[in-house]
A = this chain, B = another copy of it.
Amino acid sequence: MPQTPTIHPAKTVEGHVIGIDIGGTNLRLALANAHGDILYHWSATVADYRAPRAMVKLIRTGVEDLLHQAALPWTSLKAIAAGAPGITNVDTGVVIVTSYLLGWRDVPLRDLLQTSLGVPTAIDNDVNLAALGESRMGAGQEATDLVFLAIGTGLGAGIIVDGKLLRGSRWSAGEIGYMLVPGAPDQPVERGDPGALERMIGGEGIREQWQRRWNPNHTALSQDATATQIFEAASNTDPLAQSILEQTARLLGHTICNLYLVLNCPLFVLGGGVGMHSALIEETERHLKPWSPRIPVQLKRSELGSEAQIVGAICLALGCQL
């Protein structure tokens, strides 16, 4: 039973939720009302808190801080949801595996959070949550189907079909960093290594491509440029940067074609620091144009940007994952 509100009657009657985005570098929380409006943000670096129990403790601190900030009682908190950067069993609430930065294996995250916080808790993969966020409150609100392409350091996809997340029977649908497309290597990679496609068009992969092909005669940019710097330079007609942008867009275009052919999903939302760059989106649209009679896709820039995961977590906590 909800306790009688003490400070903000309108809000506490409806209740609040907290969305949580667990990253390898930062932990971010946001408190939202029952409409999904974010009221307060909270974040911390996770350098000393990467072990699951330490992370849960840090999350509890964040939750307490947010409720305090909003002058809300604990009883006002109705649910939380957390996104983790790894393969997540949504039914059992276990994070099966994350990347090396957190290094989690079979962590019962939902139970740990529920025990610590005493509120209903849901967990999911972070890219899935970003797709959910864009679908409910971002670039995909008009669509029943969308693919969210997360291009940051790496590359991944969150898939919404008929308004629901397609998670896969082993919780790892959308692992497109390993997709085999013309122009990327087609050799199997060692377990734990990033996929060949990710090594071409993920943010870190673009840097690697750049470093390998860097030649001061063909560019004014330094050898340690980032993907977004390379795309900026391409917009300013730097020839080597243009060639890297063109390669990235071609491979991304191929990836989008293949996703469309399998899913028949017409809307692609591009997110992540690299994926949101307008030069990349425009060049990819140019590459897709000759395919458009057969593959009529629409590319949209993420509307939620770096908030996509946390908004998705709020949606999940609010139960708006239909």
Residue of B161, B178, B262 near A259 (CB, 8 A) is B262
Q: How far is the CA of A143 from the CA of B166 in the complex (A)?
A: 16
Is the CB of A261 closer than 8 A to any CB of chain B? yes
Report which residue of A171, A186, A290 has the largest number of chain B beta carbons within 10 angstroms of its beta carbon. A186
Is the CB of A167 closer than 8 A to any CB of chain B? yes
Encode A240-270 as 1/0 by CB contact (under 8 A) with B: 0000000000000010011101111110000
The secondary structure that dominates the A interface is loop
State the interface size on chain A (CB cutoff 8 A). 44
Contacting residues of chain A (164-186) with chain B, CB-CB under 8 angstroms: 166-176, 178-186
Contacting residues of chain A (279-298) with chain B, CB-CB under 8 angstroms: 290-291, 293-295
Known: A182-B181, A254-B180. A188 touches B262 (CB 8 A): no
Is the CB of A134 closer than 8 A to any CB of chain B? no
Contacting residues of chain A (186-203) with chain B, CB-CB under 8 angstroms: 186, 188-189, 191
Chain B neighbourhood of A295, CB < 8 A: 178
Q: How far is the CA of A259 from the CA of B169 in the complex (A)?
A: 13
Is the CB of A145 closer than 8 A to any CB of chain B? yes
List A residues at the B interface (Cβ < 8 Å). 143-145, 157, 159, 161, 166-176, 178-186, 188-189, 191, 254, 257-259, 261-266, 290-291, 293-295
